[in-house]
Structures are given as structure tokens and as C-alpha cells.
Chains A and B, each alone.
Chain A
Amino acid sequence: MFSERSKTSHRWLNVSQLEFERNLFKSSSHLSCKGDLELMFMDQHFAAHKASHDLRMFVVANQNENEIILVSVLEALFESLTNLLRGVVDKLSALENLDLVLLVLDELVDGGIILETDPYAIIGRVAMNADSEHNSAEQTISQALASARDQLSRNLLR
């Protein structure tokens, strides 16, 4: 019974989320795609909107929250993505670098709490994470090469 209830509540949550997203996108369709930042009020939520090429970004908060904070979060997101995606913030580059986009989102907000609004600090942390992952991958490759070399030398010596 509990599992059924949790399933239904989860389904309801997803449906409501999808409906909310659809309504938000519909209400923002008349807004300009020239990179202007717009504020919208919908279903007791504030949403800050910014479009770049074919990508639309939204930051949503409760109606009681300060709009300036929303705007600063969205600006930080946009600036970080612009720097990390080399100046082209569109759907294709966002999908190609989805790991960086998700890292930016993680460094920006965690559990609803705003962690950082300085885009350069966010970029630094994201780049650091990417470098550490890159280094670990390199280490594993170098370790694999070293072990292969050892095995070859042993076989040759026999």
C-alpha cells in the first residue's frame, strides 16, 4: 500500500512538474531571444528568464523571494556557461558539454541554497573538477600502460 501511494505521489509530482514546465515555456514564448533578462510571475512562483540562441534558461523561486537574487543567480549561470562553452551558449554546445553544465548547476545552487554567484569562482571550481577527473583518467591509462609494459618485459625475459 505504501509503495502504491509513493508511486502515485511520485507520478503526480512528475506530471505537475511537466505541466509547470510547459506553462512556463508557453508564457515565455513571447519574450525576446536577444539575451535580455526577463522576470515572470506564474503560479505563485517568480521565474527569471534569459534566452541565448536556441537555449532558454529559467531560475524559479517562491514568490516571497527577492527578484534581484534570482537575477544574480541567472546572470552567474549565463556568464559561467558563456565562458565554459567558449562564447556560444546554444542547445548543441550545452548538450555536448552537459557534464560542465551540470557541474555549473551544482556549484551554483545546492539543495535550493545559493552557493556562489561569482561566475569566475564557479568556472574555477568546475575547471578544477574537470581537471581532477582528467588527471584520474590519465593516471589509470598510464597505470594500464605500465602494467602492460611490465608484462611484456617479463614475457620477453622468459
Chain B
Amino acid sequence: MSVRKTCGEVAHGRQNNLHRIFVPRNCEESRVHTSALLALNTPIELAFLWHLLSLMSHTSLPSIQAIFLFDDEGKRVAIKYYDSKS
């Protein structure tokens, strides 16, 4: 029994064939190797980023808590408080 296909279906089928994932003959080994190669950068980068973040959390900039300008009686002339969130 023959099934007639429209032009669109035929074209779509060809596209599917074209976009089929290429699997080499030594598929299992190659797949593992490729995935290992592809994934190689990501954990290193993540580890590096993690290391940087931990460094940033541990090394804080010197912070000032307040600046006061008083007169000779101790009254405020200008004051600034800074919230230290770290």
C-alpha cells in the first residue's frame, strides 16, 4: 500500500534526514569522549567562579561606619552614617 505525501511532507522528511544527529561507528566511546570534552570547560569555569566568589565574600573593602562634624559643644554640624551590610 503506497502512501502519498504532499510536497511539504516530503521536504520536511528531507530536512529531518539532514538534521539527524551524526553518530559515529564507535558510538558509545565517542559519545563519552565528546561529552567529556564538551563538559571539560564548564566545571573548571564554575570552580573558578566559585573560588572568585568565595574570595570576594572573604575579602571585603575597608569600610567607614560614620563621619561626624561637631561643634565645640558637641552639637551636630554634619553627620553621615553608612550602613555596613557586609
A residues near B, CB below 8 A?
A: 17, 21-22, 24-26, 33, 45, 54-62, 65-66, 69-70, 73, 77, 91, 94-95, 98, 101-102, 105, 108-114
Known contacts A94-B77, A102-B78; is-contact A58 B70 (Cβ 8 Å): yes
Type the 1/0 row for B57-82, where 1 means its CB is closer than 8 Å to any CB of A: 00001111111111110101111111
Known contacts A98-B78, A109-B80, A111-B82; is-contact A66 B62 (Cβ 8 Å): yes
Q: Are B70 and A55 in contact (CB under 8 A)?
A: yes
Q: Does B83 contact A (CB under 8 A)?
A: yes
Q: Does B16 contact A (CB under 8 A)?
A: no
Known contacts A21-B79, A101-B78, A102-B78; is-contact A54 B61 (Cβ 8 Å): no
Q: How far is the CA of A105 from the CA of B78 in the complex (A)?
A: 9
Q: Does B35 contact A (CB under 8 A)?
A: no
Chain A residues, CB < 8 A from B78: 94, 98, 101-102, 105
Q: Does B15 contact A (CB under 8 A)?
A: no
Q: Does B6 contact A (CB under 8 A)?
A: no
Known contacts A95-B77, A105-B80, A112-B83; is-contact A45 B70 (Cβ 8 Å): no
Q: Are A56 and B66 in contact (CB under 8 A)?
A: no
Min Cβ gap B40→A in Å is: 38
Chain A residues, CB < 8 A from B82: 109-112
